[in-house]
Each structure stands twice: as C-alpha cells, then as structure tokens.
Amino acid sequence: MKIAILGGSFDPPHLGHLFIALQVQELLEMDEVWLMPVSHHPFNRDLSSTKTRLEMTKVLETKTIKVSDFELLHNKQSYTIDTLNGLKKLYPDNTFYWIMGSDQLENFQKYKAWKDIITKHNLIIFPREWMLPHLEEIVKEKLMLSSIPQNVIVLQSNSLILTSISSTKIRERSQKKLPIYYFLPKGVGEIIKKNNLYE
C-alpha cells in the first residue's frame, strides 16, 4: 500500500488537517493517509494528554484516513527519521510518504539526520496558506538539492484548497473566549468542551 503520514501535535486536530489529508490522498492516489500525533512537542510546549489528543484525532477518521499511535508507542522523541525507519521495518510491504508543510522547510536542516530523510525516504511538500509560485526553487534551496528527485513530491496544483487554520490559533481563540467550532470537525469541539481544554 501507498501510505502518506501527516504528523503533528493535533492539539486540537482541525479542518486544515483534514483538507491536507484528503487532498494528498486524492491527488497522489494514496491507499491511506495516517494521522500521527507526536509524543512530545519539538519545542517543548506542554501538550494536552496523549489520550485526549488521540481521542480528538480519531474523529477525523474515514475509510482512507486512519489514526496511528506509532509515535506515541515507539518514538517518544518524535524524530521524523526514527519514525520513518521504524515504519519501514515494521511494514516492509508498504511504501510510506512523509507530508511536510512548506512552512517547515525553513527549519528542516535542524531535523535529526535530515539528509537521510531526503535520500532514504519519500517526502510530500504541501503548500501552506497560499500557493508559492517558486516553491520548487525554495525546496531545492532549503534541502540543498540541485534538482528535485523522484522521492520528493512538491504539490503545486491550482486545485488545492489551502488554509491558515492552525492549532495555535484555535487555542488562542479559545483563551480569548472566541468561537472555535467553525474550524473543527463537530466531534472534536465536543471533546474540547467536555474536557475544558484551552481555557
């Protein structure tokens, strides 16, 4: 199977995550997209409990969008390279692709073994917020590539639906007592309310 991985804190998961997962699945004909909550935030921000984030993320599941607890169980540090190596070892018959937002390119060279991610695994670069006409050039610059290899897919379709919805903005709105439920799948909003999150 062809499986794309969308990692993140999912604190909370929102419609933007769903937009990315659905469009990657459709445009690249993935068999499945796995939403993979991290164990720890890379910049040490306190996260909601693992149980709650997993419960919220499962609301987004469909026939082809699944939730994976792989990092929560096997990769407590949430290093991308360790996750990809682990998945490859555990599921040798599947081909995995790591979805990365274009906003993450700036810090990509800070990733553990970032060159191995490029040379040994598959990457999907998804534009965030707006289309970047020179995205391929930016990718080459930030990943130190002379050309885009076959294992690095840069999504540039004009049919893409992009959004600036983010978990950070949702938490900030919640703290200011502003409505957040327009940006979330219905069940996620109910879990947030039940657990008094982000207040």
Domain layout of the chain by residue ranges? 2-162
Write down the pLDDT at residue 113.
95
pLDDT of residue 121: 97
CATH number for the domain running over 2-162: 3.40.50.620
The pLDDT of 49-59, averaged and rounded, is 95
> How confident is the model over 167-181, as a mean pLDDT?
94
Q: Is the pTM of this model over 0.85?
A: yes
Question: Three-state SS for 55?
Answer: helix
Among 1-15, 22-36, 78-92, 119-133, name the one with the lowest average pLDDT.
Answer: 119-133
Number of H helices, E strands in the chain: 8, 6
Average pLDDT in the 59-66 region?
96
Confidence of residue 44 (pLDDT cuts 50, 70, 90): low
Tell me: the pLDDT tens digits for 79-127? 899 999 999 999 999 999 999 999 899 999 999 999 999 999 999 999 9
Closest by CA to 177, choosing from 159, 194, 198, 157, is: 198
By the 8 A CB rule, do 83 and 49 touch? no
Mean pLDDT of the chain: 92
